[in-house]
Amino acid sequence: MIRPGPDIVEGASRLPLQGGTAAGTGPAPATTCGLSANSKSQSAGKAVACADGVLLDRCLEKLTEGRTRLAGMNVGQRIALLEQCVDGISSVATEWVDVACESKGISRNSPERSQEILGGPVAALRQLQLFLQTMRQIDRTGRPKLPASPVRKSDGRIGIRVTPGSGFFDAVTFLGFRATTWLLPDVGEDNLEASLAPAYRSLENTGTSLVLGAGNVTGIPAADMLTKLCVDNRAVLLKMNPVNECVGPVFERAFAPLVENDLLRIISGDASIGAAAVADERVDDILITGSGETHDAIVWGSSGTAREERRRRNEPTLTKPIGSELGNVTPWIVVPGAYSKMQRTFQAENIVASMTNNAAFNCVATRVIVTWKQWPDRERFLQGIEAALSRVPQRVAYYPGADKRFEQYSGMAPDVAQRMLRNTAGGGVSGSRTSPDGTTTFVAGTNRMEGTLPWTLIRNVNPEVDSPLFASESFVCVCAEVPIDAASPEEFLRKATDFCNEKLWGTLAASVTVPGRFGRKQATRRVLDDCTDKLRYGVVAQNQWSGVVFALMSPPWGGHPGSTLQDIQSGSGWVHNSFMLTGIEKTVLEAPLVVLPKPVWLASHPRPESVAWSLCRLFENPSLWNLSTLTYHAVKGALV
C-alpha cells in the first residue's frame, strides 16, 4: 500500500500517532499492497498487488501503528477523515462503475450499468453519510439521535424506526417505506440509551479487523470495512475477493485518507494469504461475506472427518471472534387476495427484479416463490412473472462455477436450456418443459450470447420433498415456485412461515406480498404480525424485495441471531447499522404494493442510469437542488 499523493485526494490529512509521530509521516512507500503512486489512470482494470507473506506482514505492521493512532483520535478527527472520503468516493465514482462493468461484461450503453452505480458508489456514499450523521450526533451529545421514539410490542419488546431518517430526504426518495428494527428482550426503554454505540464509550480500545470481501457486489467490501471502522472502532485489513479485486485500486483512492493514516490496507491473494491473515496474532477479529464452506474452513478447519468431529465437540480451531454473512435461500411469500391489475403487475415485476438483479448473483436474490395452491389468481400471477422474465436480457454469468451450478439446480445443461427458447408475443423470449414429477421448468431472456444463462423458474415444486433448491443456495439464475395446500389464506400464511423456517436453508431475509385488505382487517393483521414475528430472518420485507433493506444502509443487515457456530446458517453479527444499535433481532420493512415513479431497480425501467447517477449526487451532497434533479429524472423515466 502506498502513501497517497496529492493528486489522489486533495488535502488528505495525516493525524499523529498517540503521543508521538509528527503529522505528514506516511506509510512505507513502494512495494507494499497497492498500485504505483504516479498514475491515477493506471488503476482502471488492474488489481491490488497480490500479497505474499512479506507484504502481508508490512500491511499488518502499519495497521498496528494505525490502531494506535485511532486510539488517539477524538470523534471530531474521525469525522474530518471520513468527510474527505466522501470527496474521494465522488472523485472515482465513474471509474469505479466502469471497472466493475468491465469485469462483469456489462457494455457502456447497457441499463445494467445502473446496478453497478447503485451497488457501488451510491451504496458507499449513503453508508458513509449515515455514519457521519451519527458520529456528528455523538460528537455533540455523546450518543446517536434516533429518528423517532421507540415503538413497543404487546410483549414489551421495543422497535426503532430506522427508515425514513432525517437529512437525506428519505421521506421523498423512499416514499411510503418504513423500516423498524426490533430488539431482543434484554434491551428495553430503561437501558436503550446505554446500549447505543458502545465502542464510543472507550475509543482507546481499538483493534485490527480482517474483512474478507464479497465478490459479487462492489459496495459490500466498502460497507463492511466502514462498519468495522465506524461501529467497532477497528483498523481494517480488507482482502478483496478474486472476482472483483480489480476495484481494489479504486478503493485505495476513494479511501485514501484512511490509507494515509494506516487505518486501512487492501490486499488480494489466494486462500493461503487469507489463511495467514486469519492466523496472524495482530488480527483481532474477522468479518466474512461469502460462502458457508469458507466460513467453516476458517472456524473448524479443512473438510473431512476431523472437522466434523471438532464441530460435534464444539472445539473450533479459530479462537477469534468472527462475524459473517453467508447467503440465503431467499423466499418470497405471496399472500393470496384481491389485488388490482396494477398491484399484480408491480409485484410480479418486483419479484423478477429480485431474481435478475446482478445476474442473480446476490445473497438475497429470490430463490423460492411460495404461493397458495388454491388461489384462483395463482396462474395469472405466475404468468405475469414469466412474461416479465421473458423480456429481461440475459446476463453474462460472470461468477465462477455458474454453469455447473445451473445444471445442478435446474436439472439441465445450459445449452439445452438455451435451445428451448422461442420468440413470444410482446417481444419476449421463453420456453418450457414439463417433467414426470409434475414440475414445469420455464426458461427465458432476450439477448442470448456466449457466456449468458437463461432466467429459470421451476414451477410446482412439492414442498414435502427434500429438494436441493431448498437445502442450499444455488447462487445462480434458478428459482423455484412452491404451492402450499391450505384451507384459507390465513392458514396458508402460517404454513408458508413454517415451510420457510423449517425447509429452507438460511436466516438472512424474506419478502412477503400482502393484499391491502389482509393487512387492514384486525383478525388477519394479527396473523400477519404473528407470522412476521415468527419468520426466523434478519430482515422481513412486506411488499418489497428484501434487498432494498440492504440498500437503505440505516437498518442492521445480517442473519437472524438464532444461529450458532456449529449451525451458522446465514451468519452472525450485523453490518451497516448506522444508528449503532445492539441487541438486534430483525428489521421489518413495510412498503406500498405499488411504488411510483417506477423504482430504478425494476428491470423494465427505461432510463435507470440517469436516476442512479442522480442518487449518487444526492448522497454526495444532500440538497434541494440535487433532490429536484433526482425527481426530474425519476419522473421522466417513468413517463417513457
**Would you list the DSSP string of 235-287?**
EEEEEPPTTTGGGHHHHHHHTHHHHHTTSEEEEB--HHHHHHHHH-TT--EEE
Residue extents of the structural domains in the chain: 1-144+200-290, 292-325, 330-590, 608-639
| Residue 493: band (very low, low, confident or very high) from pLDDT cuts 50, 70, 90 | very high
Cα of 427 vs its chain's centroid, Å: 32
569, 506 Cβ separation under 8 angstroms: yes
Cα of 522 vs its chain's centroid, Å: 34
Which among 118, 108, 95, 102 is positioned nearest to 602, based on CA atoms? 118
Which among 413, 408, 545 is positioned nearest to 472, based on CA atoms? 408
| Residue 52: band (very low, low, confident or very high) from pLDDT cuts 50, 70, 90 | confident
**C-alpha cell belonging to residue 215:** 465478490
- Which of 1-10, 116-125, 214-223 is predicted with the least confidence, judged by mean pLDDT? 1-10
Q: Identify any residues that bridge with 285 across adjacent strands, giving them in sequence order.
A: 209
Q: Is it the case that residue 42 has pLDDT exceeding 50?
A: no
**C-alpha cell belonging to residue 491:** 392458514
Strands 455-459 and 440-444: antiparallel
Secondary structure letter of residue 41 according to DSSP: G
Q: Is it the case that residue 31 has pLDDT exceeding 60?
A: no
410: part of which helix (H) or strand (E)? helix 402-410
| Model pLDDT, residue 552 | 97
- pLDDT (tens digit, 9 = 90+) per residue, 523-537? 999 999 999 999 999
Q: Is it the case that residue 369 has pLDDT exceeding 60?
A: yes
- The phi, psi pair for 480, rounded to 5°, reads -105, 150
| Model pLDDT, residue 7 | 34
CA atoms in the 13 A half-sphere facing the CB of 245: 21
406: part of which helix (H) or strand (E)? helix 402-410
Binning the chain into helix, strand and coil, the percentages to the nearest 5 are 40, 15, 40
Which of helix, strand or coil describes residue 430? strand
227, 199 Cβ separation under 8 angstroms: no
Q: Is it the case that residue 1 has pLDDT exceeding 90?
A: no
| Residue 639: band (very low, low, confident or very high) from pLDDT cuts 50, 70, 90 | low
| Residue 636: band (very low, low, confident or very high) from pLDDT cuts 50, 70, 90 | confident
Residues in the chain: 640
**C-alpha cell belonging to residue 212:** 474478507
Q: Identify any residues that bridge with 480 across adjacent strands, giving them in sequence order.
A: 368, 458
- pLDDT (tens digit, 9 = 90+) per residue, 100-114? 999 999 999 999 999
Section 349-373 average pLDDT: 98
Q: Is it the case that residue 277 has pLDDT exceeding 90?
A: yes
Section 232-249 average pLDDT: 97
Q: Identify any residues that bridge with 328 across adjacent strands, giving them in sequence order.
A: none
Section 533-556 average pLDDT: 98
Radius of gyration of the chain (CA): 24
What does CATH list as the number for 1-144+200-290?
A: 3.40.605.10
| Model pLDDT, residue 426 | 84
Work out the angle between the directed axes of helices 378-390 and 341-356 (0-180°, nearest 10).
50
**Would you list the DSSP string of 517-583?**
HHHHSHHHHHHHHHHHHHS--SEEEESS-THHHHHH-SSEES--TT--STT-TT-SS-EE-TT---S
Q: Do domains 1-144+200-290 and 330-590 have the same CATH topology?
A: no
Which among 324, 361, 292 is positioned nearest to 103, based on CA atoms? 361
Strands 478-484 and 539-542: unpaired
Secondary structure letter of residue 122 according to DSSP: I
Average pLDDT, the chain: 92
| Model pLDDT, residue 49 | 61
395, 452 Cβ separation under 8 angstroms: yes
Which among 71, 68, 57 is positioned nearest to 281, based on CA atoms? 57
| Model pLDDT, residue 551 | 96
Q: pTM for the full model?
A: 0.92
Section 386-401 average pLDDT: 98
- pLDDT (tens digit, 9 = 90+) per residue, 558-614? 999 989 999 999 999 999 999 999 999 999 999 999 999 999 999 999 999 999 999
| Model pLDDT, residue 26 | 35
| Residue 425: band (very low, low, confident or very high) from pLDDT cuts 50, 70, 90 | confident
Sign of the CA dihedral running 585, 590, 596, 598: positive
As a whole number of Å, the end-to-end CA separation of the chain is 47
CA distances from 410 to 311, 421, 454, 464, 611 (A): 32, 15, 11, 18, 35
What does CATH list as the number for 330-590?
A: 3.40.309.10
